[in-house]
Amino acid sequence: MSIDWRRYRPEPFWDELITAKGRARTGAGNLCRVLSQLSDEELLEHRTAAELAIRSMGITFTVYTGKGSGSIDREWPFDLIPRLIMKREWDAVSEGLKQRVRALNMFIDDVYHDQKILQDEVLPREYIEKSKDFRAECVGISPPHGVWSHICGSDLVRDASGQMYVLEDNLRVPSGVSYMLENREVMKRVFPELFEEYFIHPVDDYPDQLSECLRSLSHLKSPTIAVLTPGIYNSAYFEHAYLANAMSAQLVQGSDLVVGRDDCVYMRTIEGLVRVDVIYRRIDDVFMDPEVFNADSMLGVAGLMRAWRAGKVALANAPGCGVADDKVIYTYVPDIIRYYLNEEPLLPNVPSYRCVEKEQRDYVLDNLDKLVVKPANESGGYGMLIGPNAAKKERDKFARQILANPRNYMAQPMLLLSTAPTLVDMHAEPRHLDLRPFILSGSSTFVTTGGLTRVALRKGSTVVNSSQGGGSKDTWVVDLE
């Protein structure tokens, strides 16, 4: 016997498949039954087949090792046991995400125009003006449909009670969607029999939806679309190439593009210069245009901002949208939703403390051993303090940093992240996970069915980033009706 659910103990965490009493959750019964019927040999066979599929499909991510030794392509770590979400729950989450992204886009548009929300003092003016992601160069620009963040990847987590929260909104250049698509492909190859047990909503329309979204940013019927990548050393290069390929778009680097005297963007091809209408850029604002931002950038295109401001090219995501992706601004998102939409938020934020406000800051400083402290502008899990796991010395260091620059920090209680059964040496153990759905906004809005489930493969760890020992699972949105 290999997977024995009676020996599976998720407590004290909420488990996505198994209840505290060791029973399968609604809808998970068939999956658990099929899995427990597999012998060790069969499990091993499936796992080997998955590894082979990943290698032959070339699903990799790049780890930059630094120090001149370059970078290595690692095969994508994948767990065989899928994560299930009931369709009914997903529909509600999906509405919540649309609401959230709609409000956030209205917020960004307001920040770069009339700043009504600041005038009405819903949010202190200095938070915006001192934000290092506020781009004065974007003031007064009106991108198509009033949308700034066309591709958003929000991170969702569940706590011990089973409540789903938004942990953060990645409004700038979120990655991971190609792995969501590839996970499903691998799963279909390796476990076709599981798909007979369920009606699982497909995910493979994402490239079409993305292409549709990008097209809607141009008034042309068939605009030329390019994906702008920093190049092969970037950790998400696989995804850039994958999406360009799936959309039949050009994969370009900054050096492939030129901005003409007419402020139009062109790419150099063997046929000569060809105009580009929409750019899905996968490089940060600061690297995008050496004329405006980081003058040393070798990744960008001189004049790109000029072209964008003149309306000659659409950029997705728009420059400057990171202003809403700041973790201190995050704490205001429920207010932002109420302010612009006059609606109650459908999806809650994780309760958060702002270090700028004295009362909350004092609480944070007194309870550092219980809290997670996050800097306002980092991503990928860097620069955080996980209080309960940190040494006193490190907590003291953070206390000093918070006092020196309170605007740069916020804190959240240590969430007991939910778990799901994950294959460890031929049996299942609970491992923590999160979920990153992708929300597309153009002339219309689209939410992926499920998203990318990232799982912390190390026992007890809650760090799901692939660069730090995270893996992933296929995510099934399942219809029982």
Q: Which residues bind another protein (CB under 8 A)?
A: 56, 58, 64, 66, 70-71, 153, 170, 172-175, 224, 230-236, 241, 244-245, 248-253, 255-256, 267-274, 283-284, 287, 297-299, 379-380
Q: Within 13 Å and on the Cβ side, how many CA atoms surround 79? A: 32
Quick one: which of 87, 316, 321 has its CA closest to 210? 316
For the chain, the first-to-last Cα distance in angstroms comes to 32
Q: In the complex, what is the shortest distance from the CB of residue 341 to another protein, in angstroms, rounded to a whole number?
A: 26
Q: Report the nearest approach of another protein to the CB of residue 442 (Å).
A: 20
Task: Catalogue the E-assigned strands of 314-382.
Answer: 314-316, 353-354, 371-375
CB of 298 to another protein, least distance (A): 5
Neighbour-count burial of 300, counting CB atoms closer than 10 A to its CB (0-12 exposed, 13-18 middle, 19+ buried): buried
> Cβ closer to another protein: 195 or 233?
233
Quick one: CA dihedral 407, 330, 391, 363, positive or negative?
A: positive
- Cβ distance to another protein smaller for residue 287 or 446: 287
Closer to another protein by CB, 170 or 183: give it.
170
3-state secondary structure of 432: strand
Contact 351, 395 (CB under 8 A): no
For residue 64, the minimal CB distance to another protein (Å) is: 4
By C-beta, is 372 or 428 nearer to another protein? 372
CB of 285 to another protein, least distance (A): 10
Smallest separation (angstroms) from another protein to the CB of 274: 6
Give the integer Cα–Cα distance in Å for 64 and 467.
Answer: 9
| 146 versus 231: smaller Cβ distance to another protein | 231
Widest CA span in the chain: 71
* Least distance to another protein, CB of residue 267, Å: 6
Nearer Cβ to another protein (31/138): 138
Which CB atom, from 232 or from 480, has the smaller least distance to another protein? 232
| Amino acid sitting at position 384 | M
In angstroms, rounded to a whole number, what is the distance separating the alpha carbons of residues 477 and 198? 10
**Pick 275 or 338: Cβ nearer another protein:** 275
Closest distance to another protein from the beta carbon of 467 (Å): 9
Beta strands (DSSP E) in 159-237 are 164-170, 225-228
d(CA 459, CA 475): 21
Express the helix, strand and coil content of the chain in percent, nearest 5 each. 35, 25, 40
